[in-house]
Chain A
């Protein structure tokens, strides 16, 4: 079974609209972390936001927020007021077993295109 599922291979969104990128995860661990990264066409991987499984508040970083629904095992990324520069691949990743397992498990990504 896929550990991280991103169901939207691609999305087109009008500039200035809000965007929600879906991510569901599968783990039996109580302690885990969820990350979102952005990969523009230039190739670098840019960290956006982090949510720990024990964090009670949804994480926010500027225009980025994470809609964390633990019971549903979903960690959707919300981008408010989208900009042309938001066009990129977006990856959701999970780290399980915080004390001993350090690798990130990655989703397949969502390609977001912002239309002017």
Chain B
């Protein structure tokens, strides 16, 4: 158990809908990262927050947004869902935002868009 929690574990929804994925980092970790793992694209970095502020952006679509709250938990919002958004979404956390910091991953949320 990495100490990172993600809810829900599974999510099934329809095209055009909006969903919110939630992540709680390890105790004491200030940095949160979101990743998408799909069969055709592999693992893709989406976005990173550090202590409430956006720090880095990767291949995140405009239909997706995220935020980190004062209690350091983070939410990833996915809207106007398409079939291609079906994937495993990981949240990871690290102590700070230094390059040598290890990112510890949550169990993931498996999103299925029908």
Contact = CB atoms under 8 A, between A and B. Distances in A.
A40 B110 CA distance: 15
A104 B45 CA distance: 7
Contact of A52 (B56, B100, B108): B100
Interface of B: 2, 31, 33, 35, 42-45, 48, 55-56, 58, 88, 90, 92, 97-100, 102-108, 110
Contacts of A52: 100
A106 B43 contact: yes
Given A43-B108, A44-B107, A102-B31, A50 B102 contact: yes
Contact of A32 (B31, B43, B58, B99): B99
Q: Nearest 4 A-B pairs (CB), nearest first?
A: A98-B99, A45-B105, A103-B45, A106-B43
Interface string A48-90: 0010100000000000000000000000000000000000000
Given A43-B88, A46-B2, A108-B42, A33 B105 contact: no
Given A103-B45, A103-B58, A43 B107 contact: yes
Given A33-B99, A52-B100, 18 more contacts: A31-B99, A43-B88, A43-B107, A43-B108, A44-B107, A45-B92, A45-B108, A46-B105, A47-B102, A47-B104, A50-B100, A50-B102, A98-B100, A102-B55, A103-B58, A104-B45, A104-B103, A109-B42
